[in-house]
Amino acid sequence: MNDQTLFIAMGAMALVTGLCRIVPFLIPRHSRLGTILSGDHPTIRIVGPAVLVGLTVATFGQPLLSQPSWGNVLSYGIGGVATAAGLRATGSVGLAVIAGIIAYGCSSYGVAFYGS
């Protein structure tokens, strides 16, 4: 994964997260959708983790299929585990994404350094 793809993925995650936060303020509060979005409805609680998984699969899939190597698999695996651990530890999707990006970045530089 190059830096441009990484920034596009981060931008997409930020956009989707921002829209999830802004949409409840744009719709009428007494509408059915407003009631669902403002409450603790089970379908709303799953949106954050579902978006995270979807963007992760889309982001990881292309580079792993185009350049299948142990270094890539190891870097993405470490990033994925760090994201899951961050989500489990903090419960925050945003912090989990940051932890995954940092772990991926550090592991990809480590793999590149030790692999050469």
If one counts the domains in the chain, the total is 1
> Which residues, at least 6 apart from 107, have a Cβ–Cβ distance to it below 8 Å?
74, 75, 78, 79
- Alpha helices by DSSP H, 27-69: 32-38, 42-45, 47-66
pLDDT in tens, 48-61: 677 767 776 777 67
The residue assigned the tokens 């989707």 is 16
3-state secondary structure of 79: helix
| Least confident stretch, 59-63, 86-90, 98-102 | 59-63
pLDDT at 82: 92
Residue, of 58 and 82, whose pLDDT is higher:
82
pLDDT exceeding 70 applies to what percent of the chain?
A: 72
Q: What span, in angstroms and rounded, lies between the C-alpha atoms of 29 and 60?
A: 38
Question: Tokens at residue 86, please?
Answer: 């961050």
Dihedral angle computed from the Cα positions of residues 44, 95, 11 and 81, in that order, rounded to the nearest 10 degrees: -90
pLDDT exceeds 80 at position 81: yes
pLDDT at 70: 78
Q: Is the pTM of this model over 0.95?
A: no
Domain that residue 67 falls in: 3-115
